[in-house]
Amino acid sequence: MSDKSFQILIVEDEIKIAEILSDYLSQAGFSVSHKDRGDGVVALVKSTPPDLILLDVMLPGVDGLEICKEIRKFSTVPIIMISARVEELDRLLGLELGADDYICKPFSPREVVARVKIVYRRQRPAQTEEPQTKLFSVDEDQGRITFKNSPIELTRTEFRLLSLLISRPGRIFTRDQLLDFCAQLDQQATDRVIDSHIKNLRKKLARIAPELEVIHAVYGVGYRFEISAKEKDI
């Protein structure tokens, strides 16, 4: 894989970590730029939008969470947050503010490159590949979703959940985000209700595409939409 037109902005104040990430990502074929402070990042993203941001949480000037919050006011650029803060609450807060993924330090540079490649394939699918979302068609007016032109029988809440997940493939949605999105249909909904709807969705999707895994659980956080082949039992 090599695409120098895919621009990655690393915002990291630990120079050694930034250099390692830059080396690995450059070797993977991407163009990389770096900032070691938080102030000025939002203005930079506005003036020279990158294709992806690797954003540290603890930064001098302005912290990564505030940067993420401000960027989400005007851009949907993928953001992968990087932090030594491993508590579940910190991960949830980053995702609630609009981050697409969250990696905890210490990490393997290869893992970061792998996560970046997932975003890259999502942003720029190969000409010979069928983009994930093309397999699904969402008709908001009719409240209908089809898979390879075959309609999927869904409740109203299932439709809202699946259409949201499909709209941002690969992005992790927390249970609270999914609850808020579905609140106007069911104000009494809880985490368990969301989990139950997701379980039902998985069953329905498994019937029409048994060879594919479509909705993935992210332990302790929520769910993401990403099509992959199911692992076969050995």
7-16, 47-56, 141-150, 219-228: which has the minimum mean pLDDT? 219-228
> Is 50 exceeded by the pLDDT of residue 130?
no
**pLDDT value at residue 102:** 85
> Is 60 exceeded by the pLDDT of residue 84?
yes
Domain range annotation of the chain: 3-123, 132-229
Alpha-carbon distance of 69 to 55, in angstroms, equals 12
- Taking the domain 132-229, which CATH number applies? 1.10.10.10
The pTM score is 0.61
Pick the CATH number of 3-123 from 3.40.1180.10, 3.40.50.2300, 1.10.10.10, 1.20.1440.230: 3.40.50.2300
Residue with tokens 């594919």: 212
Amino acid at 200: N
Task: Report percent pLDDT > 70 for the chain.
Answer: 85
Q: Do domains 3-123 and 132-229 have the same CATH topology?
A: no
> Is 70 exceeded by the pLDDT of residue 80?
yes
